[in-house]
Amino acid sequence: MIGDGTRCVHGGHEPGVPGTPMHPGPVLSSTFELGLPSDPTPADFYGRSDNPTWRALETAIGKLDGGECVVFASGMAAIAAVLRLAGRDGALVLPSDGYYLARSLAHSELVPLGVEVRETPTAAPLPSLDGAALVLLETPSNPGLDVADIAAAAAAAHAVGALLAVDNTTATPLGQRPLELGADLVIASDTKALAGHGDVVLGHVSARDPELVARLREARSRGGAVLGPMEAWLAHRGLATLDLRLARQAQNAAALVPVLRAHPAVSDVRWPGDPADPAHAVAARQMRRWNGVLRFTLASEAAVGEFLAASRLIGSATSFGGLRSTVDRRRRWGDDVAEGLLRFSAGCEDESDLVPDVCAALDAITA
Ligand SMILES: *Cc1c(COP(=O)(O)O)cnc(C)c1O
């Protein structure tokens, strides 16, 4: 059994050939030599269809997911490909409290085409799936950090002939392997922890069924939502340290949770790794390890402003899973949550610096 750290460092890299780079650079090419008309078409013939730098990253991620990976230009491009794949076959069942653009895409582009969309909260049991073609879960959900039972959802979806897709962005493939739990498709925004350095936007879908994989590749080629080789290469470089980064981020989150719970300015702390969390039992059953993404609520927008102004380390940004600790006030983006709800992404700072900084910033709140 190969460990997470080894897989992250070695995944997608070929055995060394003397005199060639140990870390080959990105293959920056739209155009590939085709040879004579009678020669077979090579794997690489045009940059929108395939590229060796994509394949290296796809090999690495696919091994972690336990399936075959297809990279996309963003997490949303990956979600769009999956929703379009299934939308013509029946209803789409989406989380009512997950990433807002998945719902927005379904309602603004698919409903007008006659696709039925049903929404259900992550923490609730699934409603009737009669007539469903695809169930999408997001677990742990963003920003609420609620957890859905993947194996139970897979059984319910398969009983009516629907596919189960899981948005695995917050967990990462080290934290959770939805394909092993019965899901047909795993989707992620690798813009977040997987690439991990805040310098690229990309996503992927992995599946085990070769027909689904082929349809995803065709959808990518036709839809054109492809990433540049440079983005793939940067993400592959970032992936090498995912195991280390998650370990530090989870350590920091575990240290912050009791401090947050005890502070009078804070309510509503949620982190699936916390044994006191309502989602902990399900999360512990299906997740392999924790990460640094948690949520809590301050009294108001003004309180969030005071917290940010008083902190020396916490950045204000709408992404997560990066090296620096950041918060995002989700009401700003229209999520149906309290004014002061913050998604907190614990970064890779030292616990001994981060915890006192957060404490001091909370103590500075007067609003
Ligand atoms: C960020 C995010 C997305 C969208 O990904 P992009 O790479 O920004 O397109 C989808 N799902 C979840 C859970 C996310 O956090």
Strand order through the sheet with 341-345: 267-270, 293-297, 341-345, 326-329, 315-316
Asked if 140 contacts 147 with a C-beta cutoff of 8 angstroms, the reply is yes
Pocket test residue of 71, 103, 191, 197 for ligand 1, highest count of atoms within 8 A of CB: 191
pLDDT of residue 139: 98
End-to-end CA distance of the chain: give it in Å, rounded.
52
Given the candidates 3.30.1150.10, 1.20.120.1200, 3.90.1150.10, 3.40.50.1370, the CATH classification of the domain at 242-363 is 3.90.1150.10
Dist. CA 155–CA 105, nearest whole Å: 26
Give the contacts of 42 (CB within 8 A, at least 6 positions apart): 32, 33, 34, 35
Which ligand 1 atom minimizes the distance to the CA of 202?
7
Asked if 81 contacts 219 with a C-beta cutoff of 8 angstroms, the reply is yes
Distance from the CA of 75 to the center of ligand 1, in angstroms?
A: 5
Give the contacts of 49 (CB within 8 A, at least 6 positions apart): 221
Given the candidates 3.30.43.10, 3.30.470.20, 3.40.190.10, 3.40.640.10, the CATH classification of the domain at 4-239 is 3.40.640.10
**88 pLDDT higher than 90:** no
Q: Is 335 in the pocket of ligand 1 (CB under 6 A)?
A: no
Q: How confident is the model at residue 367 (pLDDT cuts 50, 70, 90)?
A: confident
pLDDT of residue 318: 95
Pocket test residue of 76, 97, 147 for ligand 1, highest count of atoms within 8 A of CB: 76
Q: How confident is the model at residue 16 (pLDDT cuts 50, 70, 90)?
A: confident
Q: pTM for this structure? A: 0.97
Distance from the CA of 54 to the center of ligand 1, in angstroms?
A: 19
Dist. CA 241–CA 348, nearest whole Å: 11
Per residue in 249-296, pLDDT (tens digit) is 999 999 999 999 999 999 999 999 999 999 999 999 999 999 999 999
Q: Is 141 in the pocket of ligand 1 (CB under 6 A)?
A: no
**86 pLDDT higher than 90:** no
Distance from the CA of 360 to the center of ligand 1, in angstroms?
A: 31
Q: Is 142 in the pocket of ligand 1 (CB under 6 A)?
A: yes
Per residue in 168-227, pLDDT (tens digit) is 999 999 999 999 999 999 999 999 999 999 999 999 999 999 999 999 999 999 999 999
Closest CA to 330 of 345, 351, 310: 345
* Residue closest by Cα to atom 1 of ligand 1: 189
Furthest C-alpha separation in the chain: 76
Instruction: Please confirm whether the linkage preceding 272 is cis (ω < 30° from 0).
Output: no
Q: What is the mean pLDDT of the chain?
A: 96
CB atoms within 10 A of CB 1: 2
**147 pLDDT higher than 90:** yes
- Each domain of the chain, given as residue ranges in start order, spans 4-239, 242-363
Which ligand 1 atom minimizes the distance to the CA of 141?
13
Dist. CA 366–CA 75, nearest whole Å: 38
- Amino acid 174 reads L
Q: What is the DSSP string of 136-197?
A: EEESS-TTT-----HHHHHHHHHHTT-EEEEE-TTTHHHH--GGGGT-SEEEEETTTTTT-S
**87 pLDDT higher than 80:** no
